[in-house]
Amino acid sequence: MKRFFSAILIVTSLPALSASWDIDDAHTTAKFKIRHLMVSNVYGQITGAKGSLEMDDKDPTKTTGTVTLDVATVNTANEKRDAHLKGEDFFDVAKHPTITYTIKKVSKGKGGKYKMDGELTMKGVTKAVSLNDVEITPTVKDPWGGIRRGFSGTTSLSRKEYGLTWNKQLDGGGMVVGDTVDIEVAAELKEKPATVKN
């Protein structure tokens, strides 16, 4: 009996291990879609991602972290349009070079997926934004001996709420650029050496 209680004391006194992950900028992107001229969609992406996450395999709802995107990388496959997006009418990259998302809460969803609640800061405005249908992949060993995993999710937001208000009215009614932006985030993560938390 004495040995039994001694074993319990040893186990309960062991520190908890947490896994830290760095964003792999070469394999992380935020893709977006927005209505154009009321009849079609424009697609683009923003890359240049940086950041780190803390994740627990046994309980992904404990995930925390921050991801930052380089707005100067915005790409819609049209140089003139991209230059306009980087200017004062839209992102104003000179004054607001990054977009930041900070994870505040992760909760279980349906089909093994999750909901990720956080704060999105864009063009100096911070608002609550949730990523839906979040998939957190199992870990894999890459060809170079590292450990990797990923997560992805979707959301929609109003660009006007972040001060991206430029628009023009069409002669027949409606606007040149829609307000709602549909976003799909896909991130690849590289594991850092395990840290010990007492």
Residue whose C-alpha is closest to residue 175's, from 36, 57, 1, 9: 36
Q: Are 61 and 107 in contact (CB under 8 A)?
A: yes
The pLDDT, as a whole number, for residue 89 is 94
Helices (H) and strands (E) in the chain, counts: 2, 12
Low-confidence residues of the chain: pLDDT under 50: 1-17
Written as one string, the DSSP assignment of 69-101 is EEGGG-B-S-HHHHHHHHSTTTT-TTT--EEEE
pTM score: 0.85
At the topology level of CATH, where does 16-197 sit? Answer: Lipocalin (2.40.128)
Q: In what helix (H) or strand (E) does residue 150 lie, and over which residues does it extend?
A: strand 147-158
What pLDDT sits at residue 184? 98
pLDDT of residue 198: 52
Give the pLDDT of residue 174. 86
The whole-number pLDDT of residue 36 equals: 94
Torsion (CA) 119, 122, 123, 125 in degrees, nearest 10: -20
What are the residue boundaries of the structural domains of the chain, listed by start?
A: 16-197
C-alpha triplet 159, 129, 98: angle, nearest 5°:
60
**Is the separation of the CB atoms in 148 and 188 below 8 Å?**
yes
Q: Where are the alpha helices (DSSP H) in 42-171?
A: 79-86
